[in-house]
Every structure is written in C-alpha cells, then in structure tokens.
Amino acid sequence: MNEKERFCTVINCMDGRTQRPVLDFLETHFEADHVDTITEPGPVRILAEQTPAAVLNNILHRLKVSLEKHGSVGVALVIHHDCAGNPLEKDGQFLQLRKALGFLGSTVRSVPVIGLWVGEDWSVEIVPDSSP
C-alpha cells in the first residue's frame, strides 16, 4: 500500500444499484483514493438491532481491518430506496440509521461516521444530523 493513498470505508447494502453512486460520492466527500466496501443485505438493521451476533461481529471485524490496516479516514453507513434486504419505508430506515449510527459512533471514535441516503434516482445525500 502506498503511504499517500487515502481510504475510507462504507457499510452498504449488497444491492448493486447503490455501489457506484456511493463510491463516487465517498471518494469526493472524504477525498479518498479507495473505498473499502463492507456489504450485507440491509446492514442498517443489523447494526441498529445488533443482531444476529455472528453477522454483526463479522461487519465489525471488517471495519476494524479497514480502520487499522488501511487507516480509513471516515466511515459511511448507507440506507436506500427499494431495499430488498430491509424492506422498510424511508422513515423506518431513517430511525434504524440513527440508532445504528449511535452504535457505530460509540464503537468508532477515531474518524467521522456519516449516514447516507440513496434515493429513487440513485443520487446520494448525507442524512441531516448524521455528520459530525
């Protein structure tokens, strides 16, 4: 790894429609050369409920690798329109996101943790009050 390379991390749904817009957004937002990507179907639910434990621990292990080995400068958690892995309406996903960000914020204290919403048109925006 080149010392000058900057990494950030995203915890995103496995839905392929969200990948490219989120990567492009995060490379600009965190001025990152690379985005370490952790995917699960509906990860916000797992982080908000902190269950199932095996999947939660796997996400946290991968996050730790990104933070410690790649020196990730920021973490984003993504929710999105039409999520098959967590088929809640937008308001329900936003409630989960706030809870999940609280959990991540207490787990990851070294870098900013933000929430992202990917809308129906696949545009990406920071969820208000989720940025440090």
Strand partners, 118: 80, 124
Residue 36 neighbours by CB under 8 Å, 6+ apart: 7, 8, 9, 10, 62, 65, 66, 70, 72
pLDDT at 129: 73
Residue listed under structure tokens 């990104």:
66
Per-residue pLDDT tens digits for 10-47: 999 999 999 999 999 999 999 999 999 999 999 999 99
Pairing of strands 75-80, 113-118: parallel
Domain boundaries, the chain: 7-126
91-131 pLDDT tens trace? 999 999 999 999 999 999 899 999 999 999 999 999 987 65
Please state, for a pLDDT cut of 70, what percent of the chain lies above it.
95
* Mean pLDDT computed over every residue of the chain: 95
Looking at the domain that runs over 7-126, which CATH code has it been given? 3.40.1050.10
